[in-house]
Amino acid sequence: MKGCKSVSNVVPSLITALVVLWLSMGVCRSQLSTNFYANSCPGVFRVVRRQLLCAFENDTRMAASLLRLHFHDCFVNGCDGSVLLDGSNSEKLAGPNRNSARGFDVIDTIKTAVENACNATVSCADVLTIAARDSVYLSGGPYWSVLLGRRDGLVANQTGANNLPSPFDSIDTIIGKFAAVGLNTTDVVSLSGGHTIGRARCVTFSGRLYDFSEDSSVDPTLDPSMAAELQVLCPQSGGDGNATAPLDRNSTYAFDNHYFKNLVEQKGLLSSDQGLFSSDEGEAATKALVQAYSNSSSLFFRDFVNSMIKMGNISPLTASAGEIRRNCRVVN
């Protein structure tokens, strides 16, 4: 990687206050805290930030990839770094991750730098959590104080990873999968807003472009001009299913509420995204919140932070459970 830049540690007070509020309400009941490494590894945030800036210089898309990696980690076995493990049962080989999940090499680089600073102290799960937060912040999104103290899991769960929320799922199915890990409908919509950065492969949305139904060759909830452009990128035959399109049209790498503005204009890329606003299930459960977020970036940022804190607290391993992996790809 290229040489790294030094950075200042800026912590906006409003978002930090939200974390304090969550703690006072008793939402985070596990043994996690915002100052977990204050004595054992006080420089961990600076080390992670420096490596991330290097990674983003080389690959602008990496911020979205690391945010997605954290999401996929927490939804399977809880936030225990299991998505990072190699092996025959690796979650990397599950359908939602195979040829799709990215950023493992960046996490390796960050972990090496953290180990050099504080040997056998900071878990891979916490490294990924910090990296996801900084990926949002460095893309123009909100900052929040992350709860830390997770330990790393000893096993992967490929079966669980094959049941991650999917772009092909109905809105009710997605809501059900979120509820299974303790998240609600507001979390569904706010965390979907993470699609304000990143890209998706043709194979995840080409079903909206051709032979959609008996009544319409193209998904009628997809803007016609956008559909025509996507058909050029993703031809019905002979194309590359791995070609990518931005999830947030015209605001690909900025973390903002433009994603929700696109949904209102029928310019959501994935069926599961547009369904939040345009499907019958979305009409009943999620449309109003999409509309609200499209009108207020501050409301979206507030709810997104709250939902990230909740997601980061899904079944963490603490105390003597699990281990602190030295290499995120293998157990010690």
Q: Which residues are catalytic?
A: 72
State the alpha helices, DSSP H only, in 59-103. Answer: 62-74
Q: For residue 186, what are its two tokens?
A: 């507001």
In whole angstroms, give the CA distance from residue 150 to residue 313: 9
User: Any residues with CB less than 8 A from the CB of 231 and at least 6 apart, and which?
Assistant: 209, 210
DSSP reduced 3-state for 323: strand
With contact defined as beta carbons under 8 Å apart, do 310 and 29 qualify? no
User: Any residues with CB less than 8 A from the CB of 107 and at least 6 apart, and which?
Assistant: 66, 69, 84, 124, 127, 128, 131, 328
In whole angstroms, give the CA distance from residue 268 to residue 146: 30
In whole angstroms, give the CA distance from residue 114 to residue 130: 12
Length of the chain (residues): 332
CA dihedral 2, 44, 75, 290 (to 10 degrees): -80
Tell me how crowded residue 296 is: count the other CB atoms within 10 A of its CB.
14
CA 246 to chain centroid, in Å, comes to 15
In whole angstroms, give the CA distance from residue 247 to residue 293: 17
With contact defined as beta carbons under 8 Å apart, do 51 and 122 qualify? no
Q: For residue 118, what are its two tokens?
A: 């504080």
Look up residue 206 and give its DSSP letter. G
In whole angstroms, give the CA distance from residue 58 to residue 284: 42
